């Protein structure tokens, strides 16, 4: 899953696997839509390539570099990212938006408790 950090200013890189072949992904016009999961009315649209947002081929995957700082997106929400080329969907995936430091992000912080047991089992062959 890709993550968008709302505290960062400037381009962030998402790893995607589109159905666009080879180097044409660098030049083909792809319309990207970022919709709040479960709410199609809330969306942001951008195109690649343009002056700030680009997509680059890396062989088995592509890197989508986008400046999300100007977009109206909410913290701690899942979004659906869809890329379309000539009205055909070439990418569909989920993105999680968070202001928490991605390197130190945990799903359930301090909610897991370790069960202790005094049972000592011995297996005899």
Query: How many structural domains compose the chain?
Result: 1
More reliable by pLDDT, 4 or 123: 4
User: Hey, is 108 helix, strand or coil?
Assistant: coil
Instruction: Classify 103 as helix, strand or coil.
Output: helix
pTM, two decimals, is: 0.77
- Whether 27 shows a pLDDT value over 80: the answer reads yes
pLDDT tens-place string over residues 34-61: 999 988 887 888 998 887 889 888 888 9
Cβ atoms of residues 32 and 26 within 8 Å: no
**Owning domain of residue 6:** 2-102
- 115 belongs to a structural domain: no
Are 16 and 94 in contact by the 8 Å Cβ rule? The answer is: no
Report yes or no on 95 lying in a domain.
Answer: yes
Would 29 be classed as within a structural domain?
Answer: yes
Give the domain CATH number at 39.
2.60.40
Contact 20, 79 (CB under 8 A): no
Cis-peptide into 49, omega within 30 deg? yes
- Specify the pLDDT at position 57: 87
Tens digit of each residue's pLDDT (9 = 90 or more) over 82-119: 999 999 999 999 999 988 876 766 666 666 666 666 66
Q: Is residue 26 part of a domain?
A: yes
35 assigned to some structural domain: yes
Phi, psi of 101 (to 5 degrees): -60, 120
In a domain, residue 121? The reply is no
- 113 occurs within a structural domain: no
Tell me if 120 is assigned to some domain: no
24 HSE (CA, 13 A, CB side): 8
Residue with tokens 């890709």: 2
């Amino acid at each position: 899953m890709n993550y968008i950090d709302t505290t960062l200013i400037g381009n962030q890189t998402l790893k995607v696997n589109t159905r666009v072949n080879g180097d044409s992904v660098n030049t083909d016009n792809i319309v990207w839509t970022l919709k709040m999961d479960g709410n199609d009315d809330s969306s942001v649209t951008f195109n690649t390539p343009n002056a700030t947002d680009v997509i680059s081929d890396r062989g088995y995957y592509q890197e989508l570099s986008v400046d999300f700082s100007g977009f109206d997106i909410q913290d701690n929400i899942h979004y659906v990212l869809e890329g379309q080329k000539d009205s055909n969907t070439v990418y569909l995936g989920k993105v999680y938006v968070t202001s928490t430091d991605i390197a130190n992000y945990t799903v359930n912080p301090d909610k897991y408790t370790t069960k202790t047991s005094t049972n000592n089992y011995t297996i005899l062959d």
